[in-house]
Amino acid sequence: MSFPTHRPRRLRTTAAMRRLVAEVDLAPRHLILPAFIREGLAEPRPIDSMPGVVQHTADSLKRAAVEAVELGLGGLMLFGVPATRDATGSAGLDPEGVLNQAIADVRAEVGDEIVIMSDLCLDEFTDHGHCGVLDADGRVDNDATLEIYGKMGVAQARAGAHMVAPSGMMDGQVAVIRQALDAAGFEDTPVLAYAAKYASAFYGPFREAVDSQLSGDRRTYQMDASNRREAIHEVELDLEEGADLIMVKPAMSYLDILADVAAMSPVPVSAYQISGEYAMIEAAAGNGWIDRRSAITESVLSIRRAGADTVLTYWAAELAGWLKEGK
């Protein structure tokens, strides 16, 4: 009987040994907290399908932003839930609209202490729930939408966003937003492009989080789950158009895409651990089927290991708290 001479287990013998040889790690700066603000709320309102996540009031959002700074998070990604919606999503352009107002409030509260990012998309603001405006036949009109995205980007930068994040998957959106920002004097405002965003069933809970009006799906503009090569094409186009950072979304069912993108991207790569990913782990942990804290940590670490520089996750604050405790 011969025994192995190569023993990888030697490097796993103690926690200190494992820490020494860990290839990737997690730090608060890697984490971006998505946050929802809803117009006209008196109290923060829990989202049933995302236990622990709320729709914020203006005040509770400011407190969350201060906490995010104290925890050393990398950024905040703000989403607005307006009280009234229309066909073109005009509340998204209004400087007094819920999202632009929230950006301004948060910026006034925390200044440049954390990167304030804003979701640049129409779906929360349209009465039909699509990410763009519709043509006469009810289809999402790519080019008519671009014009609105350009204006929305400028409105968000003017409100105080440090970075805008177009998530609508319209072709050419990065170029149009870049041009509009430059023309308005926001040459230094970066664009975080949702480059490879897939039509996913795992967005389900988010639709509750933003009171989505959508009936149907987004398969004519978001990517098909079957496609891997196409993600590279989307990323290349966004880079050509001037994207400063790139996002892959969702994260956990798309780690192959994330690894491909991370291998070729010359700019920083983010991944979005979305609402359904959050809900699944919370549900299983709530039933006592998995250990909540280790499952959360492992899931976010796996996204970093696949190649994400930064991770958007609803656990950002809690996770950063654990990291701070040094556990």
Cβ neighbours of residue 164 closer than 8 Å, sequence gap 6 or more? 117, 118, 120, 153, 156, 157, 177, 181, 189, 190, 191, 192
Residues 6+ apart with CB under 8 A from 261: 195, 196, 231, 232, 235, 246, 248, 269, 307
The mark string for 266-295 relative to ligand PBG (x by CB under 6 A, - otherwise) is: --------xx--------------------
Cβ pair 81, 55 in contact under 8 A: yes
With CB under 6 A as the contact rule, the residue among 198, 203, 221, 315 that binds ligand PBG is 203
Residue closer to ligand PBG (CB basis): 13 or 128: 128
Dihedral sign from CA coordinates of 307, 312, 315, 320 = positive
Part in contact with ligand PBG (CB under 6 A); list of ranges 61-69, 108-116, 117-125, 230-238: 117-125
- Is 265 or 273 the residue whose CB approaches ligand PBG more closely? 273
Q: Which residue has the tokens 């989202």?
A: 47
Residue in 119, 234, 238, 282 binding ligand PBG, rule: CB under 6 A: 119
> Pairing state of beta strands 269-272 and 54-56?
unpaired
Of 103, 121, 231, 316, the one binding ligand PBG by CB under 6 A: 121
CB of 123 to ligand PBG, least distance (A): 5
Give min distance, CB of 112 to ligand PBG, in A: 25
Closer of 178 and 249 to ligand PBG (Cβ): 249
Among 39, 123, 238, 260, binds ligand PBG (CB under 6 A): 123
**Type of residue at 124:** E
DSSP E strands in 102-240: the ranges are: 115-120, 163-166, 192-197
Min separation Cβ 130 and ligand PBG, Å? 10
SS3 category, 212: coil
Q: If binding means CB under 6 A, how many residues of this protein chain bind ligand PBG?
A: 10
- Smallest distance from ligand PBG to CB 288, Å: 25
* Minimum CB distance to ligand PBG, residue 116 (Å): 16
CA-to-CA distance for 96 and 172, rounded, in angstroms? 27
Instruction: Please name the helix (run of DSSP H) or strand (run of DSSP E) that holds residue 54, with its range, or none.
Output: strand 54-56
| Binding to ligand PBG, residues 2-41 (CB under 6 A) | none
Cα Rg of the chain, angstroms: 20
Site stretch for ligand PBG (CB under 6 A), options 59-67, 115-123, 133-141, 179-187 = 115-123
Active-site positions read 197, 249
Supply the minimum distance, in Å, between the C-beta of residue 208 and ligand PBG.
10
Binding mask 208-247 for ligand PBG (x = CB under 6 A): ----------x-----------------------------
254 binds ligand PBG (CB under 6 A): no
| Nearest residue to 64 (alpha-carbon basis) of 43, 35, 42, 40 | 35
- State which residue, 5 or 215, has the beta carbon closest to ligand PBG: 215
Residue type for 212, please? S
3-state DSSP assignment of residue 133? coil
Contact at 8 Å (CB) between 34 and 77?
A: yes
Q: Exposure string (b/e) for 175-204, b if CB count within 10 Å is 16 or more?
A: bbbbebbeebebeebbbbbbbbbbebebbb
What phi and psi values does residue 56 have, to the nearest 5 degrees?
-85, 155
Q: Which of 49, 167, 299, 313 binds ligand PBG (CB under 6 A)?
A: 167
Applying CB under 6 A, among 125, 206, 221, 315 the residue interacting with ligand PBG is 206
- Contacting positions for ligand PBG (CB under 6 A): 119, 121, 123, 131, 167, 203, 206, 218, 274-275
